[in-house]
A and B are shown apart, each in its own frame.
Chain A
Amino acid sequence: MSAEQISGEYNFAYLDEQTKRMIRRALLKGLAIPGYQVPFASREMPMPYGWGTGGVQISAAIMVPEDRFKVIDQGADDTTNAVSIRRFFEKVAQVETTEKTTEATVIQTRHRIPERDLTEGQVLVYQVPIPEPLRFLEPSEVETRKMHALEEYGLMHVKLYEDIARHGEIATSYAYPVKVEGRYVMDPSPIPKFDNPKLEMSGIQLFGAGREQRIYAIPPHTQVVSLDFEDYPFQRMKAPQCCDLCGAGESYLDEVITDDAGGRMYVCSDTDFCRERREAGHVGALGVAEDAA
């Protein structure tokens, strides 16, 4: 992709107004029926599907010039994917961008929810590869739609049953299925299940699958329950370590290989959260105090 290659005339945030209206209608429907997958006519974007075109189209459809835009990929602001999408919107919408969760009005994400709780007015846009949580066991689209319509969700527990039968526990560790507002079963996209409890939040959550042409949403303060069994309750699961840079004990950590000799360290996957903590004076086991650095 690139933002650099885009030239000539285009509308604010790249999409034409008619397309934006179509996407906004799908978003409103999604917000009105939390967790329900709304079909939409996905447009070609100047980037491959794997780059999150579903999320990009949603961001483009809701963006206003006053927005401050943040993009994270696995929690980090500085991956190629995140940087490219941020540059794309800097170019086609001239919006301000930020790495600070607290300052952003729209946050587009792949595979994580920021550690910092979102507040009212903030919007979290997810890039979704496969929106259908029942797809794994039921390949027929006609049948899965019927299952959603009739609330026939036994199959979802069959998947969890298989997990326990095979691994002795619910081994699903990301894209962990949830039931939204007691009605629709939903795939929260491949976020770690550690993030599932945060799906109940004050911000607005919008999910876009470009290739599969589906949009769904969770309005603020919606009940989101992770599926489980009475004798195998949902467990958040977190590495026992603390972040080696900022010392955080409650954040989601990435394991980083530091040298060829098998050296490794654990660091917050949310780079903004980690930096903020270090700036506030927190130091992890392998970290260096900010003022000394």
Chain B
Amino acid sequence: MKDMTDIDTGPLLRVEGLAKYYGSRVGCEAVSFDLHPGEVMGIVGESGSGKTTLLNCLAGHLAPDRGHVLFDRAGRMVDTVTMSEPERRMLSRTEWAFVHQHAHEGLRMNVSAGGNVGERLMGLGARHYGNIREQAVDWLGRVEIAEDRVDDRPTAFSGGMRQRLQIARNLVTGPRLVFMDEPTGGLDVSVQARLLDLLRGLVREMGLSAIIVTHDLAVVRLLADRLMVMKSGQVVETGLTDQVLDDPQHEYTQLLVSSVLQV
């Protein structure tokens, strides 16, 4: 059996010198890192630190001004910044997934839970209603939504359920890389805990690679293997999660960890 951390395994994602400017203001700058298969990277910082801008550049929602975002496709690293829009949109619907902070941005609120989960399958050419529905029900089960809710619209769901539905809708096609923007933001603490638990289970079970942007250190403590700390558009510290949180080197990270900063 091959070790997951086999050093021969190349990165799934390689980010090189990524930068995005809003006029003269820095969105994010000089960001470089590798993400390996099965690895979860957390990006933390205050609001305005550039973490959301970075996430949107990585996921192809924003065009960066400089740099490359290379993604492994069948052993070849392809630059998703320069690839054609149809190709990038195809990637977004197949090998990538994006979980929005606000579930309604990632769901179709006027479509049933089953239709929401089935959309990506149908987008990839699934044309057998029975099979699509079966997979939708299976995925609802995996995110702890009862089968008898399959025909209900997300408008009838609680905040936590909506977020779980959004996750199911994203994971149904078995993506290799999931981008998450404050996935637990705005939810009650008890609901957050359940969602985090669920996410941790799915990430492990599916061997997912993920990039999670959050201001909540509890989220990265639980989910992320590695951390990247951002301030004013710059990466100020990176390292293994426990290392960074237990022994922060940069004084900004020290402030974050000591909860002196209200983030």
Contacts and interface: CB of A to CB of B under 8 A. Distances in A.
Interface of A: 137, 150, 152-155, 157-158, 161-162, 164-166, 228-232
Contact of A152 (B89, B128, B133): B89
Nearest to B125: A154
Nearest to B114: A165
A232 B122 contact: no
Interface in B110-136: 110-112, 114-115, 118-124, 127-130, 132-133
B86 to A, nearest CB: 5
A161 B151 CA distance: 10
Contact of B124 (A154, A158, A229): A154
Contact of B89 (A137, A150, A164, A165): A150
Given A158-B115, A161-B122, A165-B133, 19 more contacts: A137-B108, A137-B110, A150-B85, A150-B86, A152-B93, A154-B119, A158-B108, A158-B122, A161-B118, A161-B133, A162-B111, A162-B115, A165-B112, A165-B151, A166-B151, A228-B127, A230-B127, A231-B128, A231-B130
Secondary structure at chain B's binding surface: helix, strand, loop or mixed? helix
B117 to A, nearest CB: 10
A231 B122 contact: no
Interface residues of B, number: 25
Contacts of A153: 123
20 contacts: A137-B108, A150-B85, A150-B86, A152-B89, A152-B93, A154-B121, A155-B122, A158-B108, A158-B119, A161-B114, A161-B122, A161-B129, A161-B132, A162-B112, A165-B115, A165-B151, A228-B127, A229-B127, A229-B129, A230-B129
Nearest to B126: A157
Given A165-B151, A231-B128, A231-B129, A157 B111 contact: no
Contacts of B86: 150
Nearest to A232: B129
A34 to B, nearest CB: 21
B1 to A, nearest CB: 37
Given A162-B112, A229-B127, A230-B128, A157 B89 contact: no
The 4 A-B residue pairs with the shortest CB-CB distance in the complex, in nearest-first order: A154-B123, A157-B122, A154-B122, A229-B129
A164 B131 CA distance: 13
